[in-house]
Structure formats: structure tokens, C-alpha cells
Amino acid sequence: MIPKKHIIDRFISYVTIDTESDPNSDTTPSSMKQWDLANKLVEELKSIGLEEVTIDENAYIMATLPSNVTHDVPTIGFISHFDTTPDFTGANVNPQIIESYDGKDIVLNKENNIVLSPDYFEDLKLYKGQTLITTDGTTLLGADDKAGIAEIISAMEYLIQHPEIKHGKIRIGFTPDEEIGRGAHKFNVKKFGAEWAYTMDGSQIGELEYENFNAAGAVVTVKGKIVHPGYAKGKMINSMYIAQDFINSLPRLETPEHTSDREGFFHLHNMTGEVEETKLEYIIRDHDKKHFEARKEMMIKLTSELNKQYGKDTVTTVINDQYYNMREKVEPVMHIVDIAEEAMKALGITPLIKPIRGGTDGSQLSYMGLPCPNIFAGGHNFHGRYEYVPVESMIKATEVIVKIAELTANR
């Protein structure tokens, strides 16, 4: 059994370090403060006894737990990211520990009346009687994905302390900038040297995922003309009104708040505008590749139609693919999912095999030659003030890593 206080202390030591990534930066890592945790992790990996601990010029960390068996065993890996989302502040995180959760409302911040309630967040009811780590209502927590890091390191430490558990060579990797879609961009798959890996980046206990969205980002720029409003008749072109036409022409119910499971969407996540220019930033998501391509084509066709109406080059749309559904790369090697499923069942965990409504480093790594399903890390309500993680889920995730290593060596 992994000591409860040990994993709590480890996790809190990570989340109290601000590692927010910056989508407007062109460096890797995108924010210098990510180095603070990266360097700490390197020293910790060395201190627990891992070998070949390296960190490169872009803050990608790798390390090795050598095999303790004489027969050939596939080299496997476990991967997590240490940045947090720029969508909500990760500075000055002040975790709260709720012992023996009573199933009722948790007041995160009395002064600002911020309450984590099972009436709204129903998953809380699953964890009555357990120990929860929450925010203080003013920041995110950072369980995405510092819980994954704590679990991987704790599992490696446990295997080192228990040599009676047989395992092959294990590689671990920690990456920057996953939250801005760049976590795998400079990951050296050849250097990592694993036949397959698992990202510890899922949510609820039991989650096991090997398919995710196909993803693209779109920037729509609308040009207008500014004229004194008193003399604007027939002359002014207000870009914001044309942008509104663009927004309203996309299917209103195909947005994140109206979709679930494998249903795709258009998500307008940022907009800025003045009369002369308005910019819309979208993400496009769909599990089905044909539907994904159709969504992109819909935006291009809409752009063309608005240009016919308002004039050439009034609207421009630039679309860039971000990542693809990993299912195509994992299905040929489904035994790697079977091992994870078997590990969970052996530990009394009911596997929840479902599609990811998002992306992970694993989706990009799978297309780079490293098949990489995703396993739960235990956290809930990522990217906001209501984020929390049950400690018992973190312990179970750690045990799943240990069991996967053991099963892989015994197959």
C-alpha cells in the first residue's frame, strides 16, 4: 500500500509551484516558471534511485527504472505533463485537505461564497468518506497533471523498495506545454525507447481511454471600415456585425455545452473586436475523421459565402490541425489496452473505457510511433476553481502503474 500522507505531501509540493503555460510564447517551455518544477523533479527522480535521469534544453525529462528480470520484457513507459492551463490561474495555489468527506457542500472560500456542491458536481457523491484535496476557490488545483506525476514517481519508488515485484525496463517522461497542445512536439520518441506507453492524464477512477478527438484550431479575421458615425451611411463596415453573422451561421447546438460522448463541436473560445477588425478563435473537434473534415470545410464555405456578400477578403479563415484520434494507432496493438484493463480489474477497479473529449500527449505520441493510451489520474473539474482530487484515487492510480509493470513482465 502506498502511504497516504506520502503521496499527499508529494502532490502538494508540486501544485504549489506555478507552472502555467503561455500560448503566446514561442519558446519551449512556453513559460520560464515551468523550469522550477522541472528541475525539482529531476532531483527527486535521482533521489529515489532512478537511472539515466535527463532533462534537455526544452525541459523534457526522462528516466529509467532498469529491469529486474532476466527474460526479455517489452520496455514500457509512463508519461505526464507538469504545466497547467492558461485558462485559469495556477499561481499561489493553496490546497485544502478534506478528511472523511461527508457528502455535503464544501465551502472553498467563505468570503467569496464559493462552494463545491454535490448538487451541481454529482461525481462528488462517489467519494463520500474519502480524503479530498481541493482548491481554496481562487485558483485551479493542478491535478491536471501533477496528480499523474505524483503517481508515476510514487509507483517507481514503490517498485524500487519492493524488488520482489518483477518488472521489465520502465521509462518515464515528463513534458511541458501539454495544455497548449505542444507537449509532444519535441518529445524524442527514439530516445525514450519504449515499445508503448501510458499517459496518466485521465479523470475519474477507472478511466481507460484509447480514442480522442481529431482537433484543429481556427482563426477567423473579419475586416471592416471605420468612418465617423455621423457620416457613416453607406460607408462604414462594422466587422463585429459580420463576425456575428459568422458565429450565428454555425450550428448552435454543435457546441461543447450541447454535446457529449463522440459528438463533435465548434467552440468559440476567444473573440476581440472593433469596427475595423474582429478576430474569432475557434477549436474544432470530432472523433470521426470524415465529420472532422466536414466541419473544417463548413467554415471555409461560410467564409466564401460572407465574402460574396460583403466583398473579397472581408473574411479570412486560417485552420491548423492540432492532433488526431489515437484509436487508429492503438487498435493494431490492443494488447496494451488489455493489460491496463486487466491491471484495474486485479485491483478491484471497474474499467471505464470511453472516448476522451479532449486530447492528451498520448494522441500525438501515438502518431509519432509510440502507442499511448490514457489512464485515470483521479482529478475532477480540471481547469478551474472547482478542481479536486480524491487521495484514494491517486493511490489506486499508483497501484495500477505497479500492476501494469508486473503484468507486462509476466505475460
Q: What's the pLDDT at 152?
A: 98
CATH homologous superfamily for the domain 4-212+325-410: Zn peptidases (3.40.630.10)
Q: Is 178 a catalytic residue?
A: yes
Environment class of 116 (CB within 10 Å of its CB; exposed 0-12, middle 13-18, buried 19+) = buried
**Stated pTM of the model:** 0.88
For 144-163, give one letter per residue: b (16+ CB within 10 A) or e.
bbbbbbbbbbbbbbbbeeee
∠ CA 326-209-377 to the nearest 5 degrees? 125
| Tally of CA atoms within 13 A in the half-sphere of 263 that contains its CB | 12
Q: What's the pLDDT at 41?
A: 98
Q: How far is CA 56 from the centre of its chain?
A: 22
Q: How far is CA 224 from the centre of its chain?
A: 37
Cβ–Cβ under 8 Å, residues 108 and 96: yes
Q: Where are the beta strands (DSSP E) in 34-95?
A: 51-55, 61-65, 76-81
Per-residue pLDDT of the chain (411 residues), as tens digits, is: 789 999 999 999 999 999 999 999 999 999 999 999 999 999 999 999 999 999 999 999 999 999 999 999 999 999 999 999 999 999 999 999 999 999 999 999 999 999 999 999 999 999 999 999 999 999 999 999 999 999 999 999 999 999 999 999 999 999 999 999 899 999 999 999 999 999 999 999 999 999 999 999 999 999 999 999 999 999 999 999 999 999 999 999 999 999 998 999 999 999 999 999 999 999 999 999 999 999 999 999 999 999 999 999 999 999 999 889 999 999 999 999 999 999 999 999 999 998 888 777 888 999 999 999 999 999 999 999 999 999 999 999 999 999 999 999 998
Q: Pick the catalytic residue: 44, 145, 177, 178? A: 178
CATH 3.30.70.360 correct for 214-323: yes
Question: What are the φ/ψ torsions at residue 328 (nearest 5 degrees)?
Answer: -55, -35
Domain boundaries, the chain: 4-212+325-410, 214-323
Q: What's the pLDDT at 154?
A: 98
Q: Pick the catalytic residue: 20, 44, 83, 211? A: 83
